[in-house]
Amino acid sequence: MAERTIAAISTPQGEGAIGVIRISGEDAVSVADRVFSAVSGKPLSSLSGYKAAYGTIHDGENLLDNAVALVYRAPKSYTGEDVVEISVHGGALMLKSVLRLILQNGAYPADRGEFTKRAFLNGKLDLTEAESIMGLISAQNESSLKMSRAALSGRVSKKVAEIEADLISAAAAIAAYSDYPDEDIEGLNEESFQKMLKNAADELKAMLTSYDAGKVLREGITTVIVGKPNVGKSTLMNLLSGEERSIVTEVAGTTRDIVEEMVALGDITLRLADTAGIHETDDTVESIGVNLAEKRIDTAQLVLAVFDGTKPLDNNDKRILQSVKGKNVIVIINKTDLESKIKASDFIGFKTVEISAKLGNGYPELCSAVAEISGTAHLDPDSAVLLSERQRLCAYKAYEGVTEALSALQSGCTMDAVGVCVDDALAALLELTGKRVTNEVSDEIFRKFCVGK
Ligand code: GDP
């Protein structure tokens, strides 16, 4: 059944030099011809793909705007269908009135993500590539942009396809063995079979690890700065903020407002929650400060625990150190521009960085320590990085299937049992790229897109 022709505004709502309305479907060109007249007098239906015409948008006699109409012919368009993109002046009211006219002339309003969904259904991109488009649009930093670009260029799909190909030959060999158990089946040498499964498990494991690091690069990491009064937390905060202070977001909490400040530290965005906790006054009773710190530590993905290097550790410092044990923590020994009274042996087992928050010394070392502890230090954003929780879950299911197949093989289970696990892994990979996916899953993915995408 032919899909109905859809239309939507594809540029942001607001004031801009131009705004674009996209029409896609079998009747895209004829719908556009009903509302657009080219100055050349030629209808859009006479144009081949990738040709543009300048003219006017009109509702009967009534002129709405000057416009450029760009024609794409199926399958060489974003959606794989005939597409017309009409550029008019970019006011919200203007765009709405032109869209209304297009809808009155035979197009239907597009659902969220419907253009990209059609591109997926028409084989123009797979699900990892479709999801990368969402990443490209929402990227807040250079690394996110790179990861999304890599995925859009097919890095993730290619990596998954390689693992998939190995598992398909494994499944085929197992099936052949089940049919002819007494014959030597090529490719079913146990050693090479194990090696292949092990290799697939390693590749999947690496992808899962890169997801976690990629997520930190994309979304930032919730961080708290803790330490007794006067150790230099505010000074550190100022050093981190520097010129880079970007956004202060106020998120309405259920019981009170939490203020989150975002600061860039190298490639990583630190989401400093509850910075109010940093700014105790000199007369804050130390133990109250420590109690506060303990509460905040539990809620963060990263703790920066600051100590004053000019004073030996006292009991409150030790309490703080005790409460950050086992957390993702960097111990910061501050005030290294003055004489040190702290011993390295005070911090055995902790990742430690020495800085002078006042002078900025040790800042690069702090950046490296944060990258190291967040797992981003060794992540190449141009590589195949999984971009969504859905992708991670599929990769994880595949990893589980492969490792179960390996242990079934090693513990002497039947080849049928090994085959079931390999099939599970394969199904998960096919779902990851969308080669085999239910409508519910793909609907769910495209619902997260905006209208017009
Ligand atoms: P907080 O109470 O932990 O937020 O500490 P502050 O940031 O307010 O710093 C307390 C005092 O230590 C201030 O007088 C700072 O100027 C000083 N201070 C902070 N960092 C350094 C540093 O790296 N070197 C030196 N010499 N003084 C520092």
- Token look-up 């290799």 returns 199
- Residue 409 Cα, ligand 1 centroid: separation in angstroms? 61
Q: Are 63 and 56 in contact (CB under 8 A)?
A: yes
Q: Which atom belonging to ligand 1 lies closest to the Cα atom of 228?
A: 3
- Residue 285 Cα, ligand 1 centroid: separation in angstroms? 17
- Residue 361 Cα, ligand 1 centroid: separation in angstroms? 14
- Residue 333 Cα, ligand 1 centroid: separation in angstroms? 12
Q: Count Cα atoms within 13 angstroms, Cβ side, for 170.
A: 34
389/387 Cα distance (integer angstroms): 7
**Structure tokens belonging to residue 147:** 């990861």
Give the residue, by CA position, lying nearest to ligand 1 atom 17. 232
Q: What is the rounded radius of gyration, in angstroms, for the C-alpha atoms of the chain?
A: 29
227/422 Cα distance (integer angstroms): 51
Q: CA 366 from chain center: how many Å?
A: 25
Give the residue, by CA position, lying nearest to ligand 1 atom 20. 232
222/273 Cα distance (integer angstroms): 7
**Structure tokens belonging to residue 269:** 């965005």
- Residue 334 Cα, ligand 1 centroid: separation in angstroms? 8
Mutual angle of helices 389-410 and 127-138, in 10-degree steps: 140
H or E segment at 260?
strand 257-265
Residue 3: the pLDDT is 81
Q: Which atom belonging to ligand 1 lies closest to the Cα atom of 236?
A: 7
Peptide bond into 364 cis (omega under 30): no
- Residue 299 Cα, ligand 1 centroid: separation in angstroms? 25
Q: Are 364 and 333 in contact (CB under 8 A)?
A: no
Q: What is the dihedral of CA 414, 416, 417, 418, to 10 degrees?
A: 90
Which residues, in sequence order, are CB contacts of 434 under 8 Å at separation 6+?
A: 120, 126, 127, 128, 130, 442
132/310 Cα distance (integer angstroms): 49
The pocket around ligand 1, CB under 6 angstroms, is made up of 227, 229-235, 278, 280, 334-335, 337-338, 356-358
- Closest by Cα among 150, 151, 189, 162 to 173: 189
- Residue 357 Cα, ligand 1 centroid: separation in angstroms? 7
Peptide bond into 75 cis (omega under 30): yes
Residue 15: strand, helix, or coil = coil
Q: Which atom belonging to ligand 1 lies closest to the Cα atom of 237?
A: 7
Q: Count Cα atoms within 13 angstroms, Cβ side, for 6.
A: 20
Q: Which atom belonging to ligand 1 lies closest to the Cα atom of 356?
A: 23
- Token look-up 């002129």 returns 63
- Residue 291 Cα, ligand 1 centroid: separation in angstroms? 21
Q: Are 353 and 369 in contact (CB under 8 A)?
A: yes
Residue 252: the pLDDT is 31
- Residue 374 Cα, ligand 1 centroid: separation in angstroms? 27
Give the residue, by CA position, lying nearest to ligand 1 atom 22. 335
Q: Phi, psi (5° rounding) for residue 371?
A: -65, -40
38/186 Cα distance (integer angstroms): 65
Q: Which atom belonging to ligand 1 lies closest to the Cα atom of 334?
A: 23
- Residue 356 Cα, ligand 1 centroid: separation in angstroms? 9
Residue 354: strand, helix, or coil = strand
- Residue 151 Cα, ligand 1 centroid: separation in angstroms? 44
Q: Are 296 and 203 in contact (CB under 8 A)?
A: no
Which residues, in sequence order, are CB contacts of 174 under 8 Å at separation 6+?
A: 188, 415, 416, 418, 419, 422
Q: Which atom belonging to ligand 1 lies closest to the Cα atom of 355?
A: 23
H or E segment at 368?
helix 363-374
**Structure tokens belonging to residue 251:** 């998120």
16/95 Cα distance (integer angstroms): 11
Give the residue, by CA position, lying nearest to ligand 1 atom 10. 230
**Structure tokens belonging to residue 142:** 């250079």
- Residue 139 Cα, ligand 1 centroid: separation in angstroms? 35
- Token look-up 């993109």 returns 85
Give the residue, by CA position, lying nearest to ligand 1 atom 14. 230
Residue 195: the pLDDT is 87
List the chain pLDDT tens, one digit each, 453 residues: 468 999 999 999 889 999 999 999 999 999 999 999 999 999 999 999 999 999 999 998 899 999 999 999 999 999 999 999 999 999 999 999 999 999 999 999 999 999 999 999 999 999 999 999 988 988 888 888 999 999 999 999 999 999 999 899 888 888 877 776 666 656 566 777 888 899 999 999 999 999 999 999 988 899 988 888 889 988 898 888 874 343 333 333 332 334 568 888 888 889 886 555 554 444 445 555 556 666 778 878 999 999 999 999 998 899 889 988 999 999 999 999 999 999 878 899 999 999 999 999 999 999 999 999 998 988 888 889 999 999 999 999 999 999 999 999 889 888 889 999 999 999 999 999 999 888 888 888 888 888 888
Q: CA 135 from chain center: how many Å?
A: 5
Q: Which atom belonging to ligand 1 lies closest to the Cα atom of 231?
A: 3
Which structural domains are found in the chain, ordered by start? 6-126 (3.30.1360.120), 132-215+384-434 (1.20.120.430), 224-356 (3.40.50.300)
11/87 Cα distance (integer angstroms): 10
Residue from 225, 226, 228, 235 whose mutation best tests the ligand 1 pocket (most atoms within 8 A of CB):
235
427/424 Cα distance (integer angstroms): 5
Residue from 230, 286, 361 whose mutation best tests the ligand 1 pocket (most atoms within 8 A of CB):
230
413/411 Cα distance (integer angstroms): 6
Q: Which atom belonging to ligand 1 lies closest to the Cα atom of 227?
A: 3
H or E segment at 268?
strand 268-273
Q: Which residues, in sequence order, are bridge partners of residue 354?
A: 333
